[in-house]
């Protein structure tokens, strides 16, 4: 129940991030919905394909409904979205943390090594945003700016440490999620960026 509320919050925040960028590019309603949906479910879909499992959203309409809700929200509160930025940043971060934990646990359950699980957690959390940026024809944001995907890696390492210390799934997941949230908030607050690669010329 608690996890479902987080899932709703996270999916909504991811979908809204896609829909807002689509609206900035003058997509129509259908295009905005598809970009929102892809942002929300794209990472998890890639994970499930790589794990040879049926994509999670194909038997559960929850994610489609969430995205529809996000579309209505963006249309209704268009003028207030900028004021809600802090809230959506928080919700997006909660989604990132939850998706990372889900990705890690599903990969471990499928019998893959831990480093694969950390990659899958990162892909689940940050992959949707890459699809979003490809669809709006921009260089993916997570490759250029912000500690975003890296927060999932930090959380994944925290999960690994908890796991090695003998903690259970629930505790490890909570601690992992807390690390993701903390890493992202600290990075934004202290404006921590990864160094950019120098070009050759």
Report the half-sphere exposure of 40 (CA within 13 A, side-chain side).
32
Give 2 or 198: the residue with its C-beta nearer to a copy of itself: 198
Q: Binding a copy of itself by CB under 8 A: which of 6, 40, 130, 175?
A: 130
- We find the least distance from the C-beta atom of residue 52 to a copy of itself, in angstroms, to be 6
Q: Enumerate residues 6+ apart whose C-beta is below 8 A from 86.
A: none
Q: How far is CA 1 from CA 5, 19, 39, 72, 169, in A?
A: 6, 27, 23, 24, 17
Q: Which of residues 57-86 bind a copy of itself (CB under 8 A)?
A: 58-59, 61, 64, 74-75, 78-79, 81-82
The site that binds a copy of itself (CB under 8 A) totals a number of residues, namely 59
Q: Which of residues 143-172 bind a copy of itself (CB under 8 A)?
A: 143-145, 149-150
Q: Binding a copy of itself by CB under 8 A: which of 6, 35, 176, 187?
A: 35
CA distance 48 to 54: 6
Residue 87 binds a copy of itself (CB under 8 A): no
- We find the least distance from the C-beta atom of residue 180 to a copy of itself, in angstroms, to be 15
The torsion angles phi and psi of 53, rounded to 5 degrees, stand at -120, 155
CA distance 10 to 60: 16
CA distance 19 to 74: 7
Give 111 or 168: the residue with its C-beta nearer to a copy of itself: 111
CA distance 127 to 139: 13
- We find the least distance from the C-beta atom of residue 13 to a copy of itself, in angstroms, to be 16
- We find the least distance from the C-beta atom of residue 193 to a copy of itself, in angstroms, to be 7
């Amino acid at each position: 129940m608690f996890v479902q509320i987080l899932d709703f919050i996270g999916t909504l925040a991811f979908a809204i991030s896609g829909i807002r960028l689509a609206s900035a590019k003058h997509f129509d309603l259908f295009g905005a919905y598809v970009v929102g949906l892809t942002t929300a479910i794209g990472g998890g879909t890639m994970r499930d394909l790589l794990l040879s499992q049926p994509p999670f959203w194909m038997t559960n309409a929850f994610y489609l409904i969430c995205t529809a809700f996000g579309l209505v929200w963006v249309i209704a509160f268009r003028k207030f979205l900028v004021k809600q930025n802090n809230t959506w940043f928080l919700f997006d971060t909660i989604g990132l943390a939850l998706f990372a934990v889900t990705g890690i646990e599903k990969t471990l359950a499928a019998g893959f090594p831990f480093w694969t699980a950390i990659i899958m957690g990162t892909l689940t959390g940050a992959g949707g945003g890459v699809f979003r940026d490809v669809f709006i024809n921009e260089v993916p944001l997570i490759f250029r700016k912000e500690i975003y995907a890296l927060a999932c890696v930090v959380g994944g390492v925290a999960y690994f440490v908890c796991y090695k210390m003998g903690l259970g799934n629930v505790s490890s997941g909570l601690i992992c999620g807390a690390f993701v949230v903390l890493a992202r908030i600290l990075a934004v607050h202290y404006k921590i960026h990864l160094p950019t690669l120098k070009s050759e010329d």
